[in-house]
Every structure is written in structure tokens, then in C-alpha cells.
Amino acid sequence: MGAAPRQGPCVRSRDAALPPLGRRSRHGDRKCPPGHAHRGRTAVRDHPIPSATHRGPRTMTHGTVFADTASESSDPTLVGHKFARQAQLRAAGYNVPEFVCVPVDAFDRAMETARPDIPEAPVGGSPDELAEWAEKAAAAVLRVGVPESLTNALLSRFDHLAGDAGVVAVRSCAVPLTSDTEQDGEDSAADPFAGLGRSFLSVGRAELPDALAACWASAFTPEGVLYRARRGADPTATRMAVGVQRLVPATASFVAFSRDPRGGRNAEESLIAAAYGLGEGVAQEQADVDHFTVHVATGAVVPQLVRKERQVVAGPTGGTVLADVPGELADRPVLDDRTARAVADLALALERHFDMPQDIEGAVTEDGEIHLVQARPAVVAAAPRDRRELHWSNGNISESYAGHTSMLTFSVASELYAVGFEEFYRSMGVPERTLRARRYELRRMLGYVDGRVYMRLESWYRLHSGMRAFIGLKHKWEKAVVTVDSSVTVPAPSGPRRMAVRAREIPAAGVRRLLNPRRMRAFFAWWDDRRDGLPDPETRSPGQLVQDYRELWADVALYWGRTLVANTHVIAELDLAERLMRRWAPDANRGVLNGMLCDGPVNRSVLALRSLLTLADTVGGHAEALAAVFGDDRTHEEHDDTDVWRRLAGGAFGDDLAAMATAHVKRYGDRGLHDLKLETTVVSQRPQMLLPQLRPVITSGRSTQDSAREERRARREAESELRTHCAGPLRLALLRLLFWSLRRNLFIRENARFCRTELFGASRRMIRSLGRHLVDAGRLDSVDDVNDLTVEEILGAYEGGAATVGLRELAAVRAKARAASLRRADPPNIFATDADLPLDVALESSGSTRGTPGSTLTGLASSGGVVRGRARVVTEPDVDPESCRDRILIARETDPGWMFLMLVAKGLVAERGTVLSHMAITGRIFGVPTVVAVHGVVDRVPDGALIEVDGDRGTITVLDETTAEDAS
């Protein structure tokens, strides 16, 4: 772009000698911005540049060349649209480098001489045949060369154009056959394709004739011939004009679009791609390129920068070469904001001039002056249709279904959400008629997004809006569940109607709050009986297993909805507590709220933990059992664990210890890492997995008394802080009452979640037993194949409600898709897709950057305290807990199965979650500084980095190794 020729996919001269024409393996265009469509597609028409009416080639002498000021230089039938536009823009006062044109007549005369040596064109031939013909035609033109009279005419202009640099740019442009043909030529509105002819930068006097001949011969580049054939034009019917132009000594070059060619929401922005050096770096993707968007209305500049290491510069003996970018420029924007705005203004001025969006090329010299080298109609995206969006969030659902999740788990989870929420809405007073009308939404509350489970927010909002209480709860629910305010709107009743809705809802909500604890006690009693009454799947036939599964889930549909009511109470009460604390105790420590949630009723998850702590304490006090659990070599191989468990459960270390261990497995064995994912193996399936859980607990020295004492301490400190900063006994009493209710509802909610773990554990055992029967029947290769089937497909194999053949093949297809999705990054936590496109097509991705010393990330303060230490970044929890000891655990999300890692960590950080998530609750139980909802923390904090976690302020700071105090 220095003289800024349009490079397109053309071969460039990098040396004094010009390369011969031949096939090229690459058909790339200029460096395009992310998402930009190739410009070789349909463009819109502009107003034609004024030109003389002319049909067919004109007869001229070989010595004729046109200065850019000549009237002929504005005639596209003589010089092509590229040079005609430049001539018109120079005449209009734009800063276009001076040039002269060799009109197409000279090419026609050369062709008359070369034609006897050009074989007959294989019109309609294969791509290989056309390419072979193109090479022979180009070679014939090169043999003809440039007449002496034309060479002399060009050389007489050379010194003036070359100036002190002694070099020029030589560029070609295809010319239409006639003025009324459909084939309007390169850079026309009908055909603004990238120049398929050759162009050369930094051409010296001696190389000028060869450069001109090479431009003529490029009428027959293989890619140009194939391009014309693809567009339905005569692949052989091309004529070439050539321009010789002053070479701009560019320090930077650019391509700019007056309107972002991606269209849609980007239509109000100009887009610029810029690189240091000559324009060939941008056009041929040789240099490192910065991108800039400039808002048309406001002039706001948004850069997208890369580190620049390569640029294209003029070679010492002609042509162009790659060179290093000076170190001081590598991280600096190629264009400052002022220059970027000036380039955008230039593109917009040309848009107004031609009355359509423009694609321009230019160069910036050392003094900051902008030179316009080329303007063409921009190839723009089709006019966007009105986009209907679907919004997706994994919010706190990622606690249950983190990362990649099997098709089996998704199908069972979808069923639970459908039947559970139907009963929940009924409990919340949603009319039966409304439920019937929206029942289909229940089946799409969850979406399977590239193997990950997401909430389809439109369905959630439509269903939730049926509850009278939801208008007031929307923002609170979004904060607790979605984790951000959503752009999804919910119709709100008018003022008088809203008051009437509230008048009915307030007493109904009061009744629900009063009755819910008693209803949940009845539910827990029912579930305990139902769970204990389930037969052992290993003793059941396939038909009986199918019946057992159906009957269990029929009961779930009747009763499970009430477990969801307590969560609405938690969300509302937590929001009220936060607002009252800000109003009545604004100076209180931020950790007061978290402390007031401690020392509540002991829920089933805490009982499971205390059972493990008690078992660990007992093993630790038994020398022989302790030696067996750890082993002499401390390697803990799986076969050793199996043998140790057999001895432990068999009474080798005493009947009391055996009874305690087997009782723990029976009662709490379904709780584990990712225990709601049916593809996960839990302790109830393989009891020997209990031993790796015991070891870090034993070495940590924690006891049930320690955890209870820590909770009581946190609660006492919070109570004291509250008394100090909350003025008035009535306010203090109201806050205490509110926190008491919140602790009670958290107790109910956590117990319900534990019951859900047991439900999935029972379902897992039944489904895997059916899988073994299907393997025995020759329908599956492995029991694990059930993970790639839906539960209805598995049951349908016996019931006839789904395909009963091809299960093996179906599982294999899904396994292949699963393997591919595992290699892809997780989608963002919340994003939108086009509702009118298949989800896999519409899915968008997000990137992240690494944290650097001194950078601070902010999340949600969840458990108070400040701690410094080494980061332990864990994306999957199946790591040795000892690797997390005295480290700060960083994860995308956690579930109760991460407890064994959290027990030995000195700080906890999660990318997702809320103050009510498992990590937040665990941090409060053990008094460990905890921050959740830290966007991108897994990708931005390197494993092993020295960091500081402030659980009161909700910050994570990456510390400088040389100045930070080591926390080891």
C-alpha cells in the first residue's frame, strides 16, 4: 500500500527480478477483521463514475499513456474503475498519489501479437483444464513483452513519479469489455472483487517494463480465470489496464470500511485494519494487524490490539521484504485515536461522495498525513433481518452440572426440572389454565449447549411470570440464579392492577411461609421412607427395573415441587437483609451478613461432613487402621484401596470401625464429586473411593468440634458487629428475626439438595443395571454407553416407546460428538444466540486473558478474611487433595463433592456462584476467606501465582513476586 496498490491475492515482487506467472496455492485476500465475509460476494450497485460513452476497444498508438489529470483517465472503459475512481478523487481534491495510466488499448495490441501462441480456451472445462490454459496464455503474453515506444513513454514519466525514492508502484486493473455489458470490471459496483491481477511495489526504472508485462499477463492468472468461470462470465475475456503510481513512504498502512461489512448491529461503526509499513502487510496478511472500530455518530474508538512483530517494507534492491517492528512500537497502537477517527471520516466522506458504503486503502506517512490509494464499493452483509434472540445462562446451575455433561444426565435433569417446577408453580398459585398453556416451556427450561447444561432464560421468565410474586422478585432472582441482570423483559401489570396483585400475593406468601416448614418436614419423612424402600437394582429383572424407575419418578412429579419453595424465600430474605443492612448498619463490616448465616440448624450436607470427620478421627486413633489407610509407601494405588476397604468393612480393624464405615457409605455414599452427573462414579458404587477422601481429612487434623467452634466464633463476631452498628433495639430485633428465618430456610434448601443427590444416586443405580442388561442382550458394547443415550431411549428399549434398534450406533455417534465438544472451550456464563439459527451455528464464544502482577479481579464477597498464598487452579476435582493443601483453590464452580479439596485449602475462589452457593457456604462453615462470581478467574490467574484474597471486599489480587510477602 505504499503506493498502496491493491494486492488482493496477487503475487508480489520481493526482489528486483519479477517472478513468472504460475499456479498459486493460496487464494487469500487482505487481512480481514474477525467475522468479516470475503468480499468476493455480491455487492450493491453505486452511481457510475461519469465517463465517455464508448463501445469496443479504441485504436491508439503504443506510446500513449495518460496522466491522471487527462479526461481519458476518468473513463473506466479505457483505464478500469480502479484508476478512473482515483482520477476522479484526485480531481475532487482528495490526497491520492499522482499516477499515469497505460490504457487497455496497449493490452489489446499485445494480445493481437500473442494470440497465435495461445491455445483454444476450454470454455466449460474443469478447473485443472482452465488453470493449465491460463498458464499458457500468460506465458504467451510475457513473451510478447512491452513495445519500445511504450517503454520510452513510461520511462519519461518515471523520474517525476519516483522522486528521491527512485521506485514506484505498478498496478493492474481489469477493464470491462464494453460499457453496456454485465461484466463491469474490477472495482465496479457490480464486481468489486479483490484485484485478481498482479501489482508490484517498490519497482525501479530497470524493472518497469517487466512489471508492466507481468501485469498484462495477470489477465490470465489461474485464480482470475476460475473466478470469472465461477461467476458465469467468459473466463478468457479479460483486458488489463496498468497504472504507474508514486510510492508513498508509509510508516503505517490501512484498509478501512466506512460501515462494518459484517452488518447488523455493527452498521453504525467504521472498521479499520492497520499495520506498520507498506500496505502489502495488511493486504497479504504478512504483517501483524491492529483493528479499530469507530462509532459513526460519536467518534468513539475501540481498538483491538495485538503485539506487532512483523511489517512489510521496501527491499534494499527493489520489491518488498518482511522486517521486524521496532520494540518500542510493538505494543503501541498502529493508529492513535485521532488518526483512526480521521481515517473513518475519510471513509465516510467517500461513502457520501459515491452514495454507498466504501472499502478504502491508504497510507500514513511519518508526518501523520493520510494518503488515499484506493476506494471501491464495499461488499456488505445482506440487510439484517430482525433478530430474535435466545438468552442462555448457567448461573448457579453450573454447581450441579459443571462443564461437560452427558446426554443421559441432561435428559434426567430436564425431566426433574419439568416435573418439579410444574408442581412448584402450582404451589405458588399459578392457575391451572396458565400451566396447561405453558407446559411446553417446562420441557425446554434447560438447553444442551455443546455438551453443557444451560438455562434457556426465555422459558424461565415466561414460566416465572405466571407467579404473582415474580415481578417483585425478578431482579433478586437474577442476582441469585442468573448472576446478572438479564435483557429479557417480563410484562408488568399497570399501577392499579399491580397493587391488586400485591394485595392478593402478600397474604398468600405469608401463608406459604408459615406452612412450608411443616410441609417440608412431611416431605423429608416421605422421601426417607421412599428411598429406604427402594429394592436393590441388582436383584431386579429389566422389566422390574423399568417399572421401579417409572413409579419413583411418578412420585417425584407429585412431591418434588415443594422443595423449590424454600429457595424463593431464601432469595427474598437475603435481598431484604442486604438492603436493611445498608440502611440500618451502613458502617458494619461486610462480613457481618455471612457471619449471621453461620451456626444454623445442622443440615444433611453438614451431617455428611461430620460423619466423615468422625470416621477420620476414629481411623486416626487406630494405629493399625491408620497404617493400612496410608500404607507404607504412601502411593495409595487403586488395588491397595480395594484391599484396604475390604479389610476395613470386614472388621479387620474392629467391628465398631467397620460398622461406622459401612454406615457412612450407605447413608452418605451418593454425595461426591459431580454427584448429580450420572456418568460420575460415587462412593456408594465403589466404597474404596472413601479412602482418598479420608486421607486429607486425617492429615488436616480437623474435627467436628473444630468446624462447630469456627461457626460459633463467626456468628459471635457478626452479632457483636451488628450490635455495635445497628442503632435501636427494634431494628436489631427485626434483623435477628430475619436472619433466623434465613438460616431456617437455608437449612430446608440444603436438605432438599441432599435429597436430590440421593434421587440421582438411586436413578444412577437403576439405569446402570439396565445398561448391563442391554450389554448382555447385545444392544450395547459397554455399560458406560448409557451415558450417551437419553433415559427415554434406555427405557424405551424395553417399553417400545423409543427406537429399540440401533442403540449401539446411536451411542457411538454421540460419543464421537462428545469427544469433539470436550476439545472446545466452555461457552460464556451468559450469552445470546439467534433464535432462527440452529444452536450450534448460533453459538458464540468468549476469550480471556491472563492476569499480570498488580491486576485485581473483583467478585462477590462470600466469607470474610484476608489470605495470601499460591493459587491452585483446578478445572476438574479429581486431583490429589494434597496438591491443594495450604493453597488458594480456584475453580470455575464447585459442588459438595469438592469438600475434600476445600478442607485443605486456605482460601477459596470460584468463577461462578452466589453467596448461597456451596463454596460460599463451605467457606463460612470453616472460616476460610471466599470470593465467588469472579469473571474469568480460572483463565486469568496462572496456577502457582502468588495472590491475595480479600473475602470482605471480594477481591483477588495477583501479587508481584519481588515485593509480595511469601505466605508459605
CATH number, domain with residue 168? 3.30.1490.20
Q: Specify the pLDDT at position 827.
A: 82
Cβ-contact 124, 228 below 8 angstroms: no
Is there a domain that residue 39 lies in? no
Q: Which of 126-130, 668-672, 800-804, 892-896 has the lowest mean pLDDT?
A: 800-804
Q: Do 472 and 577 have their domain in common? A: no
On whether both 649 and 527 belong to a single domain, the answer is: no
Cβ(198)–Cβ(215) below 8 Å: yes
Kindly state whether residues 770 and 787 are assigned to the same domain. no
Which of 246, 280, 304 is at the close of a domain? 246
Residues 242 and 270 in one domain: no
**806 with 872, same domain?**
no
Q: Is residue 317 part of a domain?
A: yes
Main-chain dihedrals φ then ψ at residue 958, nearest 5 degrees: -80, 120
Q: Which of 709, 672, 698 is nearest to 897 (CA)?
A: 672
Name the residue type at position 97: P
Location of C-alpha cell 476438574: 876
Split into its structural domains, the chain has a count of: 7
Residue 31 per-residue DSSP state: -
What are the grid coordinates assigned to 858, written together?
473483583
Domain match, 356 and 415 both = no
Residue that finishes a domain, picked among 314, 344, 377: 377
Q: Are residues 197 and 157 in the same domain?
A: yes
Q: Residue 798's domain spans which residues?
A: 778-825
Grid cell of 881 as nine digits:
487433595
The verdict on 94 and 214 lying in the same domain is yes
Instruction: Give 480's pLDDT tier (boundaries 50, 70, 90).
Output: low
Higher pLDDT, 344 or 847: 344
Does 649 share its domain with 701? Answer: yes
Instruction: Give the best-scoring range by mean pLDDT among 203-217, 629-643, 688-702.
Output: 203-217
Evaluate whether residue 25 is within a structural domain. no
For the segment 683-698, the average pLDDT, to the nearest whole number, is 92
Q: What is the pTM of this model?
A: 0.57
Q: What confidence tier does 185 reach under pLDDT thresholds 50, 70, 90?
A: low
Summarize the confidence of residues 75-103 as an average pLDDT.
93
Is 233 in the same domain as 266? no
Contacts of 682-690 spanning 24+ positions with Cβ under 8 A = 682/761, 682/764, 684/761, 684/765, 685/764, 685/765, 687/645, 687/649, 687/662, 688/638, 688/641, 688/642, 688/644, 688/645, 689/641, 690/645, 690/661, 690/664, 690/665
Checking if the pLDDT of 754 tops 60, the result is yes
* Strand ranges of the sheet holding 888-891, from the earlier edge strand across to the other edge: 856-858, 955-958, 946-950, 866-873, 888-891, 907-910, 930-932, 860-863
Select the more confidently predicted residue: 464 or 228: 464
Q: Calculate helix-pair angle for 542-559, 729-776, nearest 10 degrees.
A: 160
**CB distance 12 to 319 below 8 Å:** yes
What is the tally of helices (H) and strands (E) in the chain? 30, 25
Residues 472 and 442 reside in one and the same domain: yes
Q: Which residue has the higher pLDDT, 913 or 311?
A: 311
For 803-812, what is the mean pLDDT? 84
- Average pLDDT on 647-659 reads 95
Three-state secondary structure call for residue 835:
coil
- pLDDT of amino acid 709: 87
Instruction: For residue range 156-168, list pLDDT tens digits in order.
Output: 999 999 988 889 9
List the CATH number of the domain containing 937. Answer: 3.50.30.10
**Pairing state between β 452-456 and 930-932:** unpaired
pLDDT band at 403 (very low <50, low <70, confident <90, very high): confident
pLDDT confidence tier of residue 299, bands split at 50, 70 and 90: confident
User: Using only C-alpha atoms, what is the Rg of the chain?
Assistant: 37
pLDDT at 111 over 60: yes
* Between residues 30 and 909, the one the model is more confident about: 909
As to burial, measured by CB atoms within 10 angstroms (0-12 exposed, 13-18 middle, 19+ buried), residue 789 is buried
Q: Is residue 456 part of a domain?
A: yes
pLDDT score for 121: 83
- CA quadruple 10, 15, 20, 26: dihedral sign: negative
In a domain? residue 876: yes
Q: How far apart are CA 216 and CA 238, in angstroms?
A: 10
In a domain, 847, yes or no: no
Sorting pLDDT into bands at 50, 70 and 90, what band is 483?
low
Residues written for the chain: 968
Do 225 and 317 lie in a common domain? no
Confidence check: pLDDT of 32 > 50: no
Looking at residues 519-539, what average pLDDT do you find?
96
Q: How far apart are CA 143 and CA 110, in angstroms?
A: 10
- Do 483 and 912 contact (CB within 8 A), yes or no? yes
911 falls within a domain: yes
- Judge whether 121 lies within some domain: yes
